[in-house]
Structure 1
Amino acid sequence: MREIRRDDDGALLGFLRPVDGGWEPLTVFGYPLGGARPEGEAAEEVHRSGLEVLMRPWEFLEDGEWYRCVILEAAAGEIRIRPNDHRYPHDVYALTLERPGPATFRPR
């Protein structure tokens, strides 16, 4: 994988993963930002939306149910989330999800 960093301060924005026929843009925690494309286009996507997607509402899967949440922190391979759904049955402030992917974590 190749890191993509902001030019002015070096902040990590996300990654590019080589795939057949191109590069897949990924968030800082490794979630796909879209399908494979040429390297330059994939890097532009990470610059454009790599950090912005962290502010969007998301959903996580637990025991067969999807629950709304917000991302509190994101790092390579994991995120800390806060459940933001009145239906969530546990009284917790934050959860850590390791290697969240589309099967267990998705944008709302």
Structure 2
Amino acid sequence: MREIRRDDDGALLGYLRPVGDAWQPLTVFGYPLGEPRPDEEAAEEVHRSGLSVLGEPWLFLQEGRWHRCVILEADEREVRVRPTGHDYPHDVYALTLERPGPDTFRPE
């Protein structure tokens, strides 16, 4: 995988993963930001939405149900989220999801 960083301060925006002759844009925790595409287009997608998508509402799967949440922190290994839905059955401020993927974690 190849890191994509912001030019002015070096902040990590996400990654590009090689897929055949194309590159798939990914978030900082490896979630796909779209389909594989040419190198420059994939890098532009990471620059455009790599960080902004972290501020949007997400859903995580637990005990067979999807729950609304916001991302508190994210890195390549894990994502800390705060459940925000009133239907979440547990009294917790935050949960840590290890290497969440599309089957267990997705944008709302």
TM over 0.5: yes
Runs of 4+ in 1 over 4 A off after TM superposition: none
Q: Deviations over 1:43-90 (max 9, x none)?
A: 000000000000000000001100000000011121100000111111
1:41-80 alignment runs, 5 A limit: 41-80=41-80
Q: TM-score, normalised by structure 2?
A: 0.98
SS of equivalent residue, structure 2 residue 36: coil
Hey, what does 1:38 align to over in structure 2?
Answer: 38
Counterpart-to-counterpart distance in 1, 2:33 and 2:100 = 13
Report the CA distance between 1:21 and its aligned residue: 3.1
Question: Alignment identity in percent?
Answer: 75
Hey, what does 2:29 align to over in structure 1?
Answer: 29
Counterpart-to-counterpart distance in 2, 1:77 and 1:19 = 21
- AA aligned to 1:67 is H
**Number of residue pairs matched by the alignment:** 108
SS of equivalent residue, structure 1 residue 97: strand
Q: TM-score, normalised by structure 1?
A: 0.98
Q: Which consecutive residues of structure 1, in runs of 5 or more, have no partner in the other structure?
A: none
Work out whether 1:102 is the aligned partner of 2:105: no
SS of equivalent residue, structure 2 residue 90: coil
> Larger deviation: 4-13 or 73-82?
73-82
Counterpart-to-counterpart distance in 1, 2:100 and 2:56 = 15
Q: Which consecutive residues of structure 2, in runs of 5 or more, have no partner in the other structure?
A: none
Hey, what does 2:5 align to over in structure 1?
Answer: 5
Counterpart-to-counterpart distance in 2, 1:66 and 1:32 = 19
